[in-house]
C-alpha cells in the first residue's frame, strides 16, 4: 500500500452578498506539502450560475470567473499571478485560504491523509462542488 501523506484543503465559495452569509461552493484547493502538490478545481456551470443569481441577480459573474481563474494561476505559480505566484507553495496556499470579506472566499481549512493528492482533489470536487443532476441520478 502506498504511503499516505497529510494534506490540507478548503472549498472555494462564492458569496454574492457577504452580509447575508449565503454561498455556493465553486471549487476546492488542495495542498500536500510532502508531495509538493498545490492545485484547485473550480466550476461555474449553468446550475451554479442559476443558484448564484437567485442569491443576487446583479452579481458580476465575469468578475467571479476571473477570480476563480486567478486561483488556478496562483496554484500553478504562474507569472500571471503576479508577486503571489512567485511565493513558495505553502505561502501561496496560505494566501488562497486567508479569510477575506470578498465575494469569492475560502472555507475554513480542513486536513486529511491521502495516497494521491490529485485523486483526493477530484473526489473532494465531486462531493463538495459538483451539483447533482436535476433528476437526482448520478
Contacts of 118 by beta carbon, 8 Å cutoff, 6+ apart = 37, 39
Q: How confident is the model at residue 100 (pLDDT cuts 50, 70, 90)?
A: confident
Model confidence at 136: pLDDT above 70: no
The beta strand positions in the chain, using DSSP E, are 5-14, 24-32, 37-42, 104-106, 110-114
Dist. CA 86–CA 9, nearest whole Å: 21
**Grid cell for residue 94:** 496560505
Assess contact for 129 and 47: CB atoms under 8 A: no
Model confidence at 43: pLDDT above 60: yes
What is the pTM assigned to this prediction?
A: 0.92
pLDDT, position 96? 97
What number of residues does the chain have?
138
In the chain, what are the domain boundaries? 5-107+124-128
pLDDT tens profile 102-132: 899 999 999 999 999 999 999 999 999 988 7
Dist. CA 89–CA 76, nearest whole Å: 9
Amino acid at each position: 500500500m502506498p504511503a499516505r501523506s497529510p494534506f490540507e484543503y478548503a472549498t472555494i465559495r462564492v458569496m454574492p452578498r457577504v452580509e447575508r452569509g449565503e454561498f455556493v461552493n465553486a471549487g476546492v484547493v488542495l495542498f500536500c506539502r510532502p508531495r509538493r502538490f498545490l492545485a484547485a478545481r473550480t466550476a461555474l456551470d449553468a446550475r451554479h450560475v442559476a443558484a448564484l443569481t437567485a442569491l443576487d441577480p446583479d452579481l458580476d459573474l465575469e468578475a467571479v470567473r476571473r477570480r476563480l481563474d486567478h486561483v488556478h494561476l496562483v496554484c500553478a505559480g504562474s507569472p500571471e499571478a503576479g508577486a503571489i505566484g512567485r511565493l513558495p507553495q505553502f505561502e501561496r496556499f496560505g494566501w488562497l485560504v486567508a479569510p477575506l470579506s470578498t465575494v469569492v472566499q475560502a472555507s475554513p481549512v480542513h486536513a486529511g491523509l491521502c495516497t494521491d493528492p490529485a485523486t483526493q482533489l477530484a473526489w473532494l470536487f465531486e462531493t463538495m462542488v459538483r451539483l447533482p443532476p436535476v433528476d437526482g441520478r448520478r
